[in-house]
């Protein structure tokens, strides 16, 4: 008996959804930072085991969005309700029952899918606080299971996988067994660059940055990949901040991204970065579509 299906990982911003995806996959396929709204697109991770194929869907944080970019991010998350067999609602142990958790629970009341509550970051709270929190969530919704974990430490991940296996329907594999994500190499490279920008930059810079890989050329004989990418921002002043004094910041972004790429692609990377101003792109529908943030689920 083989099982397969889609598992949507949902939750408010910055509760650890991408960290959970990376933990269940056993390798990094989604970028993670300490800042909210790092994830902008739905990212698929395909976990292949002898008796099951689990297709995890990491989603942007669900929140009350006000800008076109943020609305497209929330749509990418809520569209998952219609594509999944199971939902994993990730909440943060340190926050208790957050008002945005209530907003999400209300949004999937009509989804008619089994929902597992995952309480993350249990390693940073006192254990005596966990049981009252579980009782509070039990009163809010009929979760099929409640699992405390620490995605960062890897605690409880095997329990999550066992729960998912039990809930998935019977069915054949939906993807080849050597495939771990549906995202292209260009997308992953662009995300790795954006992760470094998000970690190194402050204030509004991470939220007005879009990275496009313009060229991705492999030289198998030399085990070398040549990548050219453009970092798009909204203002000239933001361009100056990303480039930095004598190009120092851009060089640091490139160096750190290149090291991550070399680990992921198992090849030497030659990375060239450029910075371009696209005025008010976060409010421009055409540019949002060009950068992959509109009209996609």
Tell me which residue of 45, 43, 39 sits closest to 23, measured CA to CA. Answer: 45
18-65, pLDDT tens digit by residue?
A: 899 999 999 888 877 776 666 667 788 999 999 999 999 887 766 565
Dihedral-angle region of residue 142 (phi above 0 means left; psi in -120 to 50 means alpha; beta otherwise): beta
Same domain, 152 and 265: no
Quick one: 264 and 234 in the same domain? Answer: yes
Same domain flag for 223 and 272: yes
Residue 297 covered by a domain: no
Confidence at residue 59, expressed as pLDDT on a 0 to 100 scale: 78
- Domain membership of residue 180 (yes or no) is no
Same domain, 190 and 274: yes
Burial of 233 (0-12, 13-18, 19+ CB in 10 A): buried
Backbone angles phi, psi at 269, to 5 degrees: -120, 130
Greater model confidence, 4 or 94: 4
In a domain, 233, yes or no: yes
Tell me, yes or no, whether 27 lies in a domain. Answer: yes
- Max Cα separation, the chain? 61
Residues 139 and 48 in one domain: yes
Residue 13 lies in a domain: yes
Same domain, 160 and 204: no
In a domain, 174, yes or no: no
Query: Do 196 and 147 belong to one domain?
Result: no
Domain shared by 29 and 143, yes or no: yes
Same domain (yes/no): 13, 108: yes
**Residue burial 121-156, b: 16+ Cβ < 10 Å; e: rest:** bbeebeeeeeeebeeebeeebebebbbbbbbbeeeb
Q: pLDDT tens digits, residue range 127-184?
A: 888 999 999 999 999 999 999 999 999 999 999 999 999 999 999 999 998 899 988 8
Confidence of residue 206 (pLDDT cuts 50, 70, 90): confident
The whole-angstrom separation of Cα 30 and Cα 21 is 7
**Residue numbers of the domain that contains 247:** 185-290
Does 238 map to a domain? yes
Tokens of 281: 């792109």
Indicate if 74 and 27 belong to the same structural domain. Answer: yes
Which of the listed residues 132, 167, 202 is the one where a domain comes to its end?
A: 167
Assess whether 72 and 132 both reside in one domain.
yes
Choose among 37, 21, 62: nearest CA to 149: 21
**Confidence grade of residue 294 (pLDDT, cut at 50, 70, 90):** low
**Counted domains in the chain:** 2
CATH of the domain at 227: 3.30.300.20
Domain assignment of residue 296, yes or no: no
Tell me: do 195 and 163 sit in the same domain.
Answer: no
- Domain of 58, CATH number, reads 3.40.50.300
Prediction pTM value:
0.79
| Confidence tier at 66 by pLDDT (50, 70, 90) | low
The token pair that represents 211 in the structure block: 């990275």
- pLDDT score, position 297: 36
């Amino acid at each position: 008996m083989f099982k397969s299906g889609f598992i949507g990982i949902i939750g408010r911003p910055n509760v650890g959804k991408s960290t959970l995806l990376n933990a269940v996959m056993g390798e990094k396929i989604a970028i993670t930072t300490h800042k909210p709204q790092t994830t902008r697109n739905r990212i698929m991770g395909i976990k292949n085991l002898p008796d099951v194929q689990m297709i995890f869907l990491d989603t942007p944080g669900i929140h009350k969005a006000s800008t076109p970019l943020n609305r497209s991010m929330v749509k990418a998350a809520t569209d998952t309700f219609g594509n999944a067999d199971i939902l994993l609602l990730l909440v943060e142990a340190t926050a208790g029952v957050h008002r945005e958790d209530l907003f999400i629970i209300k949004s999937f009341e009509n989804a008619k899918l089994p929902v597992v509550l995952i309480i993350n970051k249990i390693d940073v709270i006192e254990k005596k606080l966990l049981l009252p929190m579980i009782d509070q969530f039990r009163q809010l919704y009929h979760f099929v299971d409640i699992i405390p974990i620490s995605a960062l430490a890897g605690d409880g991940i095997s329990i999550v996988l066992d729960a998912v296996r039990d809930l998935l329907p019977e069915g054949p594999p939906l993807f080849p067994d050597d495939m771990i994500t549906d995202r292209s190499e260009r997308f992953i490279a662009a995300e790795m660059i954006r992760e470094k920008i998000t970690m190194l930059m402050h204030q509004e810079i991470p939220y007005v940055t879009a990275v496009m890989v313009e060229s991705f050329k492999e030289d198998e004989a030399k085990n070398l990949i040549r990548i050219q990418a453009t970092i798009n921002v909204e203002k000239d002043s933001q361009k100056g901040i990303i480039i930095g004094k004598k190009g120092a910041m851009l060089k640091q972004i490139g160096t750190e991204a290149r090291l991550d790429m070399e680990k992921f692609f198992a090849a030497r990377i030659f990375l060239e970065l450029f910075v371009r101003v696209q005025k008010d792109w976060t409010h421009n529908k055409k540019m949002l579509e060009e950068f992959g943030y509109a009209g996609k689920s």
